[in-house]
Structure 1
Amino acid sequence: MSSVLWTPAPAAFQSSNLARFSMANGFDPRDYETLHRWSIGDPGAFWRAMWDFAEVIGDPGGSAFLRDDNAPMTGSRFLPEATLNLAENLLRGDEERIALIEADESGHFQTITLGELRRLVARTAHGLRAAGVGKGDCVGGILPNRVEGLVALLATLSVGAIWSSCSPDFGAAAIVDRLGQIGVKVLFAAPRYRYAGKEHDISARLAEIVAAMPTVTTLVLTGQPGPKPDCAADCISFDDFGRDAPLSFERVPFDHPAYVLYTSGTTGAPKAIVHRAGGVLLQHLKEHLLHGDVRPGDVMSWYTNTAWMMYHWLISGLACGASVVLYDGAPILKSADRLDPSPLWKMAERARVTHFGTSPKYLATLAAEGYAPGRLHDLSSLRSLLSAGAPVSPGQFDWVYDHVKRDMIFASISGGTEIIGCFLLGSPIHPVRRGELTVKGLGLAVGVMDERNAPVIGRQGDLVCTEPFPSMPLAFWSKDGDARYHATYFAARREIWTHGDVAEMTAYGSGVIHGRSDTTLKPGGVRIGTAEIYAACENFAEIEDCLVFGAPIEGDEEIVLCVKLNDGFALTPELAMRIRKAIREGASPRHVPHRIHAVQAVPYTLNGKRVEGAARATLEGKPVKNMASLANPACLDEYRALDRSKAA
């Protein structure tokens, strides 16, 4: 059976942005490897060419790249003389075009033109200036994925201030752990939000948060009018904040801070990662225009909250002339007897979505429910389906092409909050191969190194990047931020970015992610990833979710698999035998778990990622750092009580 699931039609190949960019810079688009070598070997020329191709608004200056030979990764600078404003580039174009589509789980659907969006941003920017916010100040959000949140972000950027946001479902401690680090001056917040059919009132939580963050002078409340939180800050409704005013943009240097994002925080206090305006813009334009083939008039959606990097990634589609969908609520609704996976697909059909972003977990749920979007919805506009957040199993590639759409790109992409972008991603001019991430990102010297620090192909190792790129963090926000930054990414290899993923590069330039380095299993001293185990478990109708981690035993490590079963199933010896057989045949004998336990829940971070380390620490009787970063910390009590003698 061929591993190739999709290939570009010749006409689509030739008309793609990536082919046009290649030819404009003197390269044959059929020779991606040479183009990639140029993009990392002459970074100044490549990123300046990207600036010109994307028609960035701003002044690029005279120098495109200054290399620091003593610290090539951490000391080099891109476009050091450039000035720009990120919001100005996101808000460019025809004022009559549809910029935003606001949708939610209830079926709400509203379009906003670019002109309407610009007027809202101008008014909110006036309010920020009146509240004393200027260049370099921090503005925060505790907001659902609706228009007001994006308006607040764009207004913040327009005045040269720094934006940082949390989702309203975060607990008070988790929000203070994040926004409390950076000295927020004005806070936008939604006292109420709706999720999975339930209304949630967080007014009391907001009062607690503001009390713990004395730098907040103004609290701007979005959504329906209601009682104001009892707090010391000035409270004002979003509708009353600011007045109509001309829209203006504060041009800032390329390296000026634009966003502060946060790591999951499961190994300590969340790291506050500062991202620069120019780096965000160029990286996202490159990924959308070249790798995603986004064009004016396209419609982009990604199921995300306002805290995840994919929110910032999604809204940069505005700079490409695309419409962006802001979806608020649950992706799957529950009734008494079934799940309803239709909300996102109804939205995609109505909005004529061209680029649909999701996660492997969501795809697995669709498969388990027997939900076939391609049969149930008109997806004729869909050109690309993208997935991020975890490795996509080979079987899921087949499922996507069988049950969503055959004539489209399916791109599994991988990067991180730390780079606000992707190391490995899709391409409109390459075939899609089962289980693989299609190409290394242009401008990114991505590779895999083994324990000898030697580059390897066809073998597992650490995912690394050996040359600088503009969306690297500007800093970590704290007194010891530089030290934490270097310790996190450069301690293993001096001036080489070690990302923390176990990966493998193929001979033809694609990649495979096997899991996180900190969740790597080492039974018998042999290093193996977790992705293959998760992939095998996805094929069982009995298993709703699962978690795999290593547990120490007599100087070695054994693999522990915890399964959350669907209603009506039990972990019988026969089921355990079938699970082990599937893992052995789908991965290897070394991947077979020594212990299988049935559990009631799997621990996740607030950003929706499994937390293997927390389960392992709990089983070992060790403290779990920063429980506030977990969405369901109470479930760990069950892991503390796991009895080896009762395992299947």
Structure 2
Amino acid sequence: MILENVKNESTILWEPSDEWIRNANLTEFAKRVWMWPIKYDRLHKWSFANPKEFWSAIWDYTDIIGEKGDDILIQPDDGKMLGTKWFPQAKLNFAENLLRGDGKRQAIIEATEDGVTRALTMEQLRTMVAKAQTGLRSLGVSKGDRVAGIVTNGIEGLVSLLATASIGAVWTTCSPDFGPQGIVDRIGQVKPKVLIASLSYQYNRKTFDLNEKIQEVLEMMDGVSTIVTLEAAQFLPKENIVNVVNWSELTQNDATVPKFERVEFDSPLYILYSSGTTGLPKAIVHSVGGSLLKHVTEHQLHCDVKPGDVMFWYTNSAWMMYHWLVSGLASEATLLLYDGAAVLKDDLGFLWRIAEGVGINHFGLSPKFLDILMKNSYDVQNLHDMSRLRSVFSAGAPVSPEHFEWVYENIKKDMLFASCSGGTEILGCFVMGSPIHPVRKGEITCKTLGMAVDVLDERGASVLHQKGDLVCTEPFPSMPITFWGEGGDERYFDTYFSERDGIWVHGDLAEQTIDETVIIYGRTDTTLKPGGVRIGTAEIYRVIDQFSEIQDSIVFGMKIDGDEEVVLCLVMEEKLTSEFVKQLRQDIRMKASPRHVPKRIYQVQEIPYTLNGKKVEGAVRSVVAGKPVKNKGSIINPGCLSEYENLSVREFL
């Protein structure tokens, strides 16, 4: 372990009380595995050094429904991560584990921009799944078939997922706001037998008709035999190329109890897609058992989710956090499903009013949403009753230290706030929060149990207080099965294992501290290298976000004369002035370093984002360099990229 420039200047913003620690699920688990009194660092190292014991204990502690078998782990002869086989004798069904518990308990709350619209008990949810399952079987869906959804984040979309999983079939989805080509680039790869589609959706009080989009998708995509529309409205594809059934017709049967087909642990459950901003999206295949074990571990041990808790994450049906949220049912939590905008026409409090009304315990959001609240000085704790709120989580991008402070000053003082980092590739987190740790300003609390996370420099040495590659050195159950399609195993290997032999290289620039916390600085493919020194874009965004005059921003590198210049584009309330730029550069120099100071600063009208709310630095960098953006289908506002085409010859400040 290399230790460089050790500093211990982190500020503790919150510490769990003795009662909080005593009542935490993590404490109970530590006692179960004879790790009490709990020392998290010791428990974490044991969890990946003894994977058979740890993951077997997780199965037992979380009451997984199914046959575990005697063998837990079979590793390849070379001892490397790829080729590991988990629970080779196990049989289980994903939906069976989610549709558990008292039938009278509340399972689902659905909300739209009109407020809370419906709620289901577990018994009602099971009945809906049984009917949808019977309907899918009548359409010929069986184990291993793909069912695709272009669905809103509502009850029917969730029921479709669970019904698919109950059969042992594979669920894959796109959000309705994807463009037709973006949808086909994703779900078209896996040739679904059945397509389930919403025919409209609402966003920021506007209704969007999807009939034409769905028609285009069907014309471009092979393999679909039936389309199931969630609305009763008539949908007539050209030339009757597919069978058309609406939701009420699909579920018009007498079934009331689902029949669960138990499958192998490593049977495919989900196919999710990478953001696709640097090429055709990778179709990542996730397993039944790996997804379930990863999620119950994170929910129960790291997020302290308990039966009856109400969970929410602001997401669409395509993002991995939707799938993460759905698994909350396996911990007997109630899920709030919301479809719509986070902020409604300057109504900053809409989601908080819903959270207050349903008694949210765990609230998941994005750094972008936090930034909007902070810049508008929205005082959540004094405008809403947050007495039931126990945790707030954030994912999708690094959270600045200032946002950490704002959360505790304006949402709630006594709660767990956790920034999380992982990805679609693992359907979970490498690093996240914990109910027994203090929360330190700007730092992710701990490495996730079962994950041998490290930060390595260019020599392969583990480093502290130094930026390096975030890696995982030991296998874990939620590793993908493969990438769908020809050469999938090879593409999977090339993506994560080609840089360092036998080690998963995730693609994040990170730093680990002497306190066992982790700081994420952004993706390594967007890392800036002025003068050959690697710096993360998050370090610049942290300073920029403190200026209320700046509405939005994006940072990227521009190749100039064999070096790389840092470029900053700003969306401003007013015209950008040389005086403001001087102050901004001075602040970046003082609060980050001279290397972080942008050489070129431009004013622009709009910043490109993916449909999951992530800034697309790579796409901007490609456009500025005159290179094609290979997949604009994943960008929610691709038209704004034209503004960047001539950026290199524009006058800058």
1:412 matched residue in structure 2 = 419
Correspondence 1:178 to 2:186: yes
1:328 matched residue in structure 2 = 339
Partner of residue 590 from structure 2, selected from 585, 590, 595:
585
- Cα distance in 2 for residues equivalent to 1:94 and 1:376: 35
Moved over 2 A (4+): 223-231
Partner of residue 330 from structure 2, selected from 315, 319, 325:
319
SS state of the match for residue 646, structure 1? coil
Please give the TM-score of this superposition, normalised by the length of structure 1.
0.98
Partner of residue 456 from structure 1, selected from 449, 463, 470:
463
1:282 matched residue in structure 2 = 293
Greater length-normalized contact order (CA 8 Å, ≥ 6 residues apart): 2
Return closer, same or farther for 1:71/1:137 CA change in 2, 3 Å cut-off: farther
Q: Give the residue type in structure 2 aligned to 1:487.
A: D
Q: Give the residue type in structure 2 aligned to 1:17.
A: N
Q: Give the residue type in structure 1 aligned to 2:259.
A: S
CA apart distance, 1:146: 0.5
Matches within 5 A, 1:525-544: 525-544=532-551
Deviations, residues 576-597 of structure 1 (Å, cap 9, x unaligned): 1111122112211110100100
Partner of residue 646 from structure 1, selected from 631, 644, 651:
651
Correspondence 1:554 to 2:582: no
Deviations, residues 191-225 of structure 1 (Å, cap 9, x unaligned): 11111101111101111111222311111111353
CA apart distance, 1:643: 4.4
Whether contact under 8 Å (1:203, 1:229) holds in the other structure is: no
Partner of residue 248 from structure 2, selected from 233, 236, 239:
239
Whether contact under 8 Å (1:595, 1:644) holds in the other structure is: no
Deviations, residues 6-40 of structure 1 (Å, cap 9, x unaligned): 11110110111001101110102531111111100
- Cα distance in 2 for residues equivalent to 1:325 and 1:537: 33
CA apart distance, 1:105: 1.3
CA apart distance, 1:228: 3.9
1:594 matched residue in structure 2 = 599
Correspondence 1:150 to 2:158: yes
1:44 matched residue in structure 2 = 52
Whether contact under 8 Å (2:540, 2:592) holds in the other structure is: yes
Partner of residue 90 from structure 1, selected from 87, 98, 118:
98
Whether contact under 8 Å (1:104, 1:327) holds in the other structure is: yes
Decide which moves more: 450-459 or 305-314. 450-459
CA apart distance, 1:328: 0.8
Correspondence 1:621 to 2:626: yes
CA apart distance, 1:166: 0.5
2:321 matched residue in structure 1 = 310
SS state of the match for residue 214, structure 1? coil
Whether contact under 8 Å (2:232, 2:246) holds in the other structure is: no
Decide which moves more: 442-451 or 340-349. 340-349
1:605 matched residue in structure 2 = 610
Matches within 5 A, 1:394-543: 394-543=401-550
Gaps of 5+ in 1: none
Q: Give the residue type in structure 2 aligned to 1:490.
A: F
Deviations, residues 554-591 of structure 1 (Å, cap 9, x unaligned): 1111000000112xx11100111111122112211110
SS state of the match for residue 280, structure 2? coil
2:212 matched residue in structure 1 = 204
Whether contact under 8 Å (1:204, 1:229) holds in the other structure is: no
2:637 matched residue in structure 1 = 632
Gaps of 5+ in 2: 1-8
Q: Give the residue type in structure 1 aligned to 2:201.
A: Y
- Cα distance in 1 for residues equivalent to 2:569 and 2:115: 36
CA apart distance, 1:82: 0.6
Whether contact under 8 Å (1:105, 1:331) holds in the other structure is: no
Return closer, same or farther for 1:77/1:244 CA change in 2, 3 Å cut-off: same
Whether contact under 8 Å (2:116, 2:354) holds in the other structure is: no
Correspondence 1:17 to 2:22: no
Q: Give the residue type in structure 1 aligned to 2:635.
A: L
1:139 matched residue in structure 2 = 147
- Cα distance in 2 for residues equivalent to 1:614 and 1:156: 35
Whether contact under 8 Å (1:18, 1:29) holds in the other structure is: no
Partner of residue 75 from structure 1, selected from 83, 93, 111:
83
SS state of the match for residue 280, structure 1? helix
Deviations, residues 288-329 of structure 1 (Å, cap 9, x unaligned): 000000000100000000000000000111000100000011
Whether contact under 8 Å (2:482, 2:488) holds in the other structure is: yes
**Percent identity at matched positions?**
53
2:5 matched residue in structure 1 = none
Whether contact under 8 Å (2:99, 2:122) holds in the other structure is: yes
Please give the TM-score of this superposition, normalised by the length of structure 2.
0.97
- Cα distance in 2 for residues equivalent to 1:633 and 1:227: 28
CA apart distance, 1:109: 3.2
Deviations, residues 392-437 of structure 1 (Å, cap 9, x unaligned): 0000000000010001000000000000000000000000000010
Matches within 5 A, 1:153-168: 153-168=161-176
Deviations, residues 239-293 of structure 1 (Å, cap 9, x unaligned): 1104122311000000000000000111111000000000000000000000000
- Cα distance in 2 for residues equivalent to 1:65 and 1:52: 16
- Cα distance in 2 for residues equivalent to 1:437 and 1:239: 46
- Cα distance in 2 for residues equivalent to 1:194 and 1:527: 42
- Cα distance in 2 for residues equivalent to 1:170 and 1:643: 30
CA apart distance, 1:227: 4.3
SS state of the match for residue 99, structure 1? strand
Deviations, residues 92-119 of structure 1 (Å, cap 9, x unaligned): 0000000000011122332110000000
- RMSD of Structure 2 on Structure 1 (CA): 1.1
1:121 matched residue in structure 2 = 129
- Cα distance in 2 for residues equivalent to 1:129 and 1:178: 24
Aligned residues: 642
Partner of residue 301 from structure 1, selected from 307, 312, 332:
312
Correspondence 1:563 to 2:563: no
SS state of the match for residue 37, structure 1? helix
Q: Give the residue type in structure 2 aligned to 1:343.
A: F
